[in-house]
């Protein structure tokens, strides 16, 4: 059996909301496998011989969403190879995906429905500060004023509607992402306990 029997949580929130930071906590304490769509795209961009490298580079710098066929394939491959290595590992955090309605529908139809979406709610000004601060050392091509503005715009126009869609279905667990990481994580744990995790 493959990814269709996996337990999947989507982890969403604006750029710099703290998705990656909190996923690391959940991997440690709940034995999830963490798959960041952005990390997978950045790795594919660097992979010698990738036919998508240049395209991905441009999309990320511009804060645009890479065509879903590419991202879904990367996620599905990563899930499959995780399960192949260890058949008992079937809990996945899918971080930073889906960020567009068509991706959400296609993934849940073709791969597996998510149990719920963990949503990190954070004001833009806070996210901006975090990203500019990280940009001093991250080397990420999109941690600069200009790209950050574009990422925020894409988030509001394209990605928030996905969260709102899941919210209408009662499938969103919302966490206040403003406090320090340890406090945010306490809230995550409390909400997970309430959902039987």
Q: DSSP labels for 138-183? A: H--TT-SHHHHHHHHHHIIIIIHHHHHHHHHTT-EEEEE--S-HHH
14 is in an annotated binding site: no
Q: Which is nearer to ligand UP5, 41 or 79 (CB)?
A: 41
Return the residue nearest ligand UP5 (CB atom).
Answer: 38
Q: Which is nearer to ligand UP5, 74 or 83 (CB)?
A: 74
90 is in an annotated binding site: no
Q: Which is nearer to Mg ion, 19 or 83 (CB)?
A: 19
Residue whose pair of structure tokens reads 């950050």 in the numeric block: 148
The site partner of 123 among ligand UP5, Mg ion, none (C-beta below 5 to 8 Å per kind) is: none
179 is in an annotated binding site: yes
Cis peptide before 98 (omega within 30 of 0): yes
Q: Which residues contact 37 (CB under 8 A, 6 or more apart)?
A: 71, 74, 75, 94, 95, 96, 97, 99
21 is in an annotated binding site: yes
Positions that interact with ligand UP5 (CB under 6 A): 13, 15-21, 36-38, 41, 59-60, 63-66, 71, 96-97, 99, 130, 134, 142, 151, 180-181, 184
With CB under 5 A as the contact rule, the residue among 7, 20, 34, 197 that binds Mg ion is 20
For residues 190 and 192, give the distance between their C-alpha atoms in angstroms, rounded to a whole number: 5
16 is in an annotated binding site: yes
53 exposed, middle or buried (CB, 10 Å; 0-12, 13-18, 19+)? middle
- Write out the binding residues for a ribonucleoside 5'-phosphate: 42, 64-66, 96-99, 103, 140, 151
* Binding site, annotated residues: 16-21, 42, 64-66, 96-99, 103, 134, 140, 151, 179
């Amino acid at each position: 059996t493959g990814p269709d029997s996996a337990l999947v949580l989507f982890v969403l929130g604006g750029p710099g909301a703290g998705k990656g930071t909190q996923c690391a906590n959940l991997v440690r304490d709940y034995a999830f496998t963490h798959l960041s769509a952005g990390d997978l795209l950045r790795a594919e961009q660097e992979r010698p011989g990738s036919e998508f490298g240049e395209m991905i580079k441009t999309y990320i710098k511009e804060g645009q969403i890479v065509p879903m066929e590419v991202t879904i394939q990367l996620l599905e491959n990563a899930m499959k190879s995780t399960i192949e290595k260890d058949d008992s590992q079937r809990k996945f955090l899918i971080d930073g995906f889906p960020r567009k309605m068509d991706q959400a529908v296609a993934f849940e139809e073709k791969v597996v429905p998510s149990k719920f979406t963990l949503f990190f709610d954070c004001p833009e000004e806070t996210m901006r500060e975090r990203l500019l601060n990280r940009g001093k050392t991250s080397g990420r091509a999109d941690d600069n004023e200009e790209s950050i503005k574009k990422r925020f715009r894409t988030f509001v126009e394209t990605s928030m509607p996905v969260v709102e869609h899941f919210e209408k279905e009662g499938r969103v667990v919302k966490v206040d992402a403003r406090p320090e990481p340890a406090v945010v994580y306490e809230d995550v744990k409390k909400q997970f306990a309430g959902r039987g995790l």
